Amino acid sequence: MKHFINPFYLKRARKMFDFPLFLDMTGKPAVVVGGGKVAARKTKKLLGAGADITVVAPTIHDDLTYLYDQGDIDWIKDICREDYVTSAFIIISASGDGEAQRIIRESMHPFQLVNGADNPELGNTVFPAAFQDEEFHVAVSTNGASPTAAKSVKRKLQKWFAAKNYRK
């Protein structure tokens, strides 16, 4: 199956996301603004990397409630406010709320990583489609142009690695 990549986003993405990097997120403060399914998915990725996560949202998805009840994340039951995001190492915008996006845009510092899950124009970083096996950590990105295509390539690579094709 072929995936459509909008040329406008591809041109912008190539310019914006041209530096692949793996980070040690252990103990780094991460703020996820939003409490829905996208926020839950991003939170799980950050949690798997060892980040210290605070979710900011009036209500949260069941998956986030579970993580909160287990003590794995903190939850601020509120809307986005400047003082919640200014000290974060990484901010995830996943609320879909224009006012929250405005607050993030106006209060973020040049040294902060920002993922605009709900508005790619807001962010300066993307989450690649990634997997890890016993020997490799593989990340695939279309620079934000087509997450669906990146996931498709990731699945194909996972199968290839699972079959140990790299040893042939």
Query: What distances in angstroms separate CA 57 from CA 31, 95, 126, one per listed residue?
Result: 11, 8, 21
pLDDT tens per residue, range 81-101: 999 999 999 999 999 999 999
Rounded CA separation 9/98 (Å): 20
**CATH homologous superfamily, domain 24-122:** NAD(P)-binding Rossmann-like Domain (3.40.50.720)
Chain CA centroid to CA 35, Å? 14
Closest CA to 48 of 131, 113, 115, 118: 131
Closest CA to 90 of 132, 47, 130: 47
Q: How far apart are the first and last CA of the chain?
A: 27
pLDDT above 90 covers a percentage of the chain that reads 71
Predicted confidence at residue 3, as pLDDT, reads: 52
